[in-house]
Chain A
Amino acid sequence: MKISDKTIGSVTVLYPDGEADAYNCSVIKQAITRLADEGRHLLLVNLSGVPYMDSSAIGMLVAGKTSLRKQGGDLKVCCPVKAVSKVFEITRVGSFLEIFPDESGGLAAFGG
């Protein structure tokens, strides 16, 4: 899985690209940790490039949000495809992760 990022105001948007599962989800965790170490604690994860996600990858997002909150930051999610939205819904992590249908909505939620 590839991940790129872009900073918009005070928020960094992460763009993972590819299926996210137990094998490669650590890439997400590493990206979150790297950005946090760089002082970028407001992250919006744009999932438009992720056609599939399992619970291991979802766990990385949950752990990432928990960690960033402890550091005074936050993580939100936007643009999940239908299959991924379904998993968020079934596992009821959506309300915790704060999921937005589009990037502009996610960015606005940070107050920026």
Chain B
Amino acid sequence: MGRRVLVSMDKPIHLSIPASTMMISAVRNCAASIAAGMAFTEDQIDNIKLSIDEALANVIKHVYGGESSKRIDVYFSVEAKSLKIRIRDYGRKVDPREIKPRRLDRVEPHGLGVFIMQKMMDRVEYDTSPEVGTELVMVKELSGKKRRGK
């Protein structure tokens, strides 16, 4: 584990990106840099990278249907004991009750993203209260302890 150089910040780090899979690499590497600055372990950083990757891929594919002219806002909130990542889209709303991890006993080429996020992050929640779109909130605790989500 490295030395922590990023401490609690009043304002989140904000990225506004086109909804293109070409951007996923840049955002996950940004997430990795922030997480490294917070002294997450290498394993935790891998988990954060993959989770944000899967989340963005899901928005691009399922919310925006691959329409790269749309926008996604990503917010990284550096908190004392955790990193909160919010992914805000402005597309069709999805009923959070329909967002379920796929059963792993069936081997299929798709549908692993939700499972991966829920497995690798300590909290994953969907907020559909905005008038337009949805905000996905993922939290990774420095302690590595999961908390129950809503």
Partners in one complex: yes
Check B24 for interface membership: any CB of A closer than 8 A. yes
Which residues of B43-87 are within 8 A (CB) of A? 43, 46, 49-50, 53-54, 57, 60-61
Q: How many A-B contacts at CB < 8 Å in the complex?
A: 58
Interface of B is mostly: helix
Contact of A62 among B21, B49, B109, B115 (CB under 8 A): B109
- CB of A91 within 8 A of CB of B112, answer yes
- CB of A60 within 8 A of CB of B21, answer no
Q: How large is the interface on A (under 10, 10 to 19, 20 to 34, 35 or more residues)?
A: 20 to 34
What chain A residues lie within 8 Å of B61 (beta carbons)?
22
Minimum CB–CB distance for A54 against chain B, Å: 5
- CB of A91 within 8 A of CB of B110, answer no
Known contacts being A23-B21, A23-B24, A87-B50, is A93 close to B113, with CB within 8 Å? Answer: no
Report the Cα distance A23→B29, complex, angstroms: 14
- CB of B116 within 8 A of CB of A19, answer no
Check B99 for interface membership: any CB of A closer than 8 A. no
Check A48 for interface membership: any CB of B closer than 8 A. no
Report the Cα distance A66→B24, complex, angstroms: 27
Q: Mark B89-114, 1 if CB is under 8 A from A, else 0.
A: 00000000000000011011110110
Report the Cα distance A9→B22, complex, angstroms: 37
Check B25 for interface membership: any CB of A closer than 8 A. yes
- CB of A55 within 8 A of CB of B112, answer yes
Tell me the A residues contacting B by CB distance below 8 Å: 19, 21-23, 52, 54-56, 58-60, 62-63, 66, 83, 86-87, 90-93, 96
